[in-house]
């Protein structure tokens, strides 16, 4: 991996939840390339091992943990192990999250016609348990790791928490009300934490990716024949740069927010990385 600019993270321990996903793995590799020891937290052991191997192959230092970010006791065990092996956490990236198809509507708009089709999921069919689980994964999955790992930061300098929000947090996308609401909660929580931790010198910010192809949305964006879906075409038509983002395009903002020399007075902000999507009115 080639970093866009050099940041010295030697002697820093970074924890990345969701660290083996399409976006999270790139963030994990970037932190390691800058010199941090990276703890990759996720659920799928195979993907975790793949990310850790990639980091080590590039000369970095990493360790992986298969853990549920909603299991505080398990997170505490990870914290204890990490503390004993490498020292206190000084960088936390809360990247775990995701959507749930049972909390998604089949259509953008409710009409009398499509409401009569019982085979298609309407707003009235959204499963409360799916909505609850989605909110837990995205919001509690940010709060709990912060409770566990930010304790290490209270007696250090230049510590940073970066949450992963979404452009959905600014303006909700059609079909995904619960995911949009959950990410709005993450953005709000980012601001709350920034104020709450300000006297301790812990900066808290967030990145809000626009549209990137990931494992979670690929089937919605790319058809079986390899062509863009109607939804993907609509998204790109509203993105002035007329393309999806590349995961590596998150790295520059990540490193800027982490580097205290570059962003020491930046606190409580949510940075859009969206190719101009949020700036375009549609006309």
**Catalytic residue set:** 179
End-to-end CA distance of the chain: 38
Quote the CA–CA distance of 207 and 261 in Å, as a whole number: 19
CA distance 128 to 113: 24
Cβ atoms of 263 and 198 within 8 Å: the answer is no
Structure-token pair, residue 218: 């690929």
CA 186 to chain CA centroid, Å, is: 10
Asked if 181 and 172 touch (Cβ cutoff 8 Å), the reply is yes
3-state helix, strand, coil in the chain (%, to 5): 50, 15, 35
Closest listed residue to residue 43, CA positions, set 22, 19, 63: 19
What phi and psi, each to the nearest 5 degrees, are found at residue 168? -60, -25
Over the Cα atoms of the chain, what is R_g? 19
């Amino acid at each position: 991996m080639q970093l866009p600019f050099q940041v010295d993270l030697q002697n820093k321990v970074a924890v990345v939840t969701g660290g083996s996903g399409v976006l999270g793995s790139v963030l994990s590799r970037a932190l390691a390339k800058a010199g941090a020891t990276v703890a990759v937290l996720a659920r799928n052991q195979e993907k975790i091992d793949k990310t850790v191997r990639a980091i080590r192959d590039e000369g970095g230092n990493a360790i992986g943990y298969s853990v549920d970010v909603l299991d505080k006791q398990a997170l505490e065990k990870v914290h204890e192990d990490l503390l004993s092996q490498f020292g206190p956490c000084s960088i936390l990236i809360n990247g775990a999250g995701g959507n749930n198809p049972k909390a998604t509507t089949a259509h953008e708009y409710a009409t009398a016609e499509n409401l009569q089709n019982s085979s298609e999921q309407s707003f009235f069919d959204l499963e409360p348990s799916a909505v609850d689980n989605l909110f837990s994964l995205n919001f509690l999955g940010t709060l709990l790791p912060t409770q566990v790992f930010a304790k290490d930061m209270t007696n250090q300098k230049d510590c940073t928490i970066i949450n992963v929000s979404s452009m959905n947090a600014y303006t909700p996308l059609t079909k995904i009300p619960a995911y949009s609401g959950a990410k709005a909660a993450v953005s709000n929580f980012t601001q709350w934490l920034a104020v709450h931790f300000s006297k301790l010198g812990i900066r808290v910010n967030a990145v809000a990716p626009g549209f990137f192809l990931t494992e979670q949305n690929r089937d919605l964006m790319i058809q079986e024949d390899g062509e863009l879906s109607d939804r993907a075409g609509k998204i790109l038509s509203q993105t002035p740069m007329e393309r999806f983002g590349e995961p590596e395009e998150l790295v520059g903002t990540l490193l800027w927010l982490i580097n205290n020399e570059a962003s020491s007075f930046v606190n409580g902000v949510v940075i859009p990385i969206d190719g101009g999507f949020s700036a375009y009115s549609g006309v």
